[in-house]
Amino acid sequence: MLTLIKNAEAYAPEYLGKKDVLFADSKIILIEDCIDHVNTSIPIHVVDAAHDIIAPGFIDSHVHIIGGGGEGGYKTRTPELMLTDATTAGVTTIVGVLGTDGTTRRMESLLAKARGLEEEGISCFIHTGSYQIPVKTLTTSIEEDLILIDKIIGVGEIAISDHRSSEPTFEELVKAASAARNGGILSGKSGILEVHVGDGKRKLSLLNQIADETDLPIRQFHPTHINRNEELFKEGIQFAKRGGYVDFTTSTIPYFLEEGEVKCSKGLRIMLEEEVPISSITFSSDGQASLPFFDDNGDYKGLQVGKVSSLFQEVRGAVLEESVPLETALQVITSNPAKVLKLANKGHIQPGKDADLVLLDKETLTIKTVFAQGKVMVKDGVPVVKGTFE
């Protein structure tokens, strides 16, 4: 099957101008100013995209695909991700993680769910390990999981500076990170250590100490929730300036913003003004996470569920409300996570890469059409492929 997208404004994510994009089955084969004569007897599906922007499919590097939580007891365990939660949000690649609950949420279920999402049409990977150290693994260790299990590309999320963490020590975190590094090197995978940073007083101090005192590269870590409050955000700027990655969480609730969370769209603009390199910044949604809120005594007050749809909303907000150029803003959900996660076929519109593509309305910057592995998943904003139980 050949698909030809005509006359789209291409952001690959760098701006390329008006382009035609041809893909065969699941791979992009050509991107040119004008593709008119394709010498083949294979039928071509032509899509007129004269009113559209074409961008790489979005990558969401932190989703609780089997649900997460729940900090308010069993009835607050959050539900699993459905296929169209991702596709209608333009997300064609996901990394699934366990969350606070590494007891009833298991690596086995995470792996099975990732395979299920792939059977339904999108690309899905997982990290091994859990919030608490010692981490839960599928085999006997982090290294074995990375080396032996294709879908496992990194480790985490491991929690630091959080009252729900295991209060990991310097040595414990270093051991997990070096296992992640070795497993990543030996398997040719990212081996990134996804670090959940809570609102505790130590903030990024453990990661800074590791960067100061060990031989682990600072880019072994992908600290997330960096925008959760003003102070952590400021430390995040310094961490990025010394070479580290910083990941923003796009899912939020009004209560969090009232309590001082930095809105992602605005935070991106501020980081760029502070001259943080754009290549150090990523966004992820924390989709299906429990978003619990606690009072000053640490007592549970309530909970909502994270949404994958927040991922592009914040990128869109950065462009429309904060005047961040689209080609810059798009990087945080396309080429940058592809690089962090070492996903060579993702995050760019280039010949040979996967045909994961999003068409956006040029005027409104809303998601119109989504292709995952060359297949139309969403058309005119409406899902045409649904998950098994949708």
Question: Site residues (CB under 5 A) for Zn ion?
Answer: 157, 196
Instruction: State whether the Cα torsion 222-255-94-78 is positive or negative.
Output: positive
Closest separation in Å from C-beta 97 to Zn ion: 8
Question: At its nearest, how many Å lie between Zn ion and the CB of residue 99?
Answer: 6
Q: How far is the CB of 180 from Zn ion (least distance, A)?
A: 17
Beta strand pairing status for 2-11 and 15-24? antiparallel
Using the minimum distance from each CB to Zn ion, give the nearer residue, 6 or 222.
Answer: 222
Q: Which is nearer to Zn ion, 57 or 223 (CB)?
A: 223
CB-based contacts of 37: which residues, under 8 Å, 6+ apart?
none
Active site residue 286: yes
Of 24, 18, 90, 84, nearest to 56 (Cα)? 90
Q: Least distance (Å) from Zn ion to the CB of residue 59?
A: 17
Q: Which residue is nearest to Zn ion (CB)?
A: 196
Place of tokens 């700027």: 237
Rounded to 5°, the CA angle 174-179-182 comes to 125
Is the CB of 88 or the CB of 290 nearer to Zn ion? Answer: 290
Cβ 302 to Zn ion, closest distance in Å? Answer: 18
Annotated catalytic residue within 52, 101, 162, 286: 286
CB of 23 to Zn ion, least distance (A): 35
Report which secondary-structure segment, H or E, holds 339.
Answer: helix 335-340
Choice between 145 and 194, CB closer to Zn ion? 194
Nearest distance in Å: CB 95, Zn ion: 13
Our CB check for Zn ion shows the closer of 286 and 322 to be: 286
How distant, in Å, are the alpha carbons of 175, 221, 250, 330, 364 from that of 315? 35, 23, 9, 7, 13
Residue number with CB closer to Zn ion (195 or 210): 195
Locus of tokens 């796009």: 250
| DSSP state letters, 264-281 | HHHHHHHHHHTT--GGGE
In degrees to the nearest 10, what's the CA dihedral of 142, 113, 86, 268?
-20
What are the φ and ψ backbone dihedral angles of 19, each rounded to 5 degrees?
Answer: -140, 160
Contact 374, 25 (CB under 8 A): yes
The span from the CA of 95 to the CA of 90, in Å, is: 15
Judged by beta carbon, residue 19 or residue 196, the one nearer Zn ion is 196
- Determine the distance from the C-alpha atom of residue 317 to the mean position of all C-alpha atoms in its chain, rounded to a whole number: 17
Q: Give the chain's length.
A: 390
293 exposure class (CB count in 10 Å sphere: 0-12, 13-18, 19+): middle
Write out the catalytic residue numbers: 286
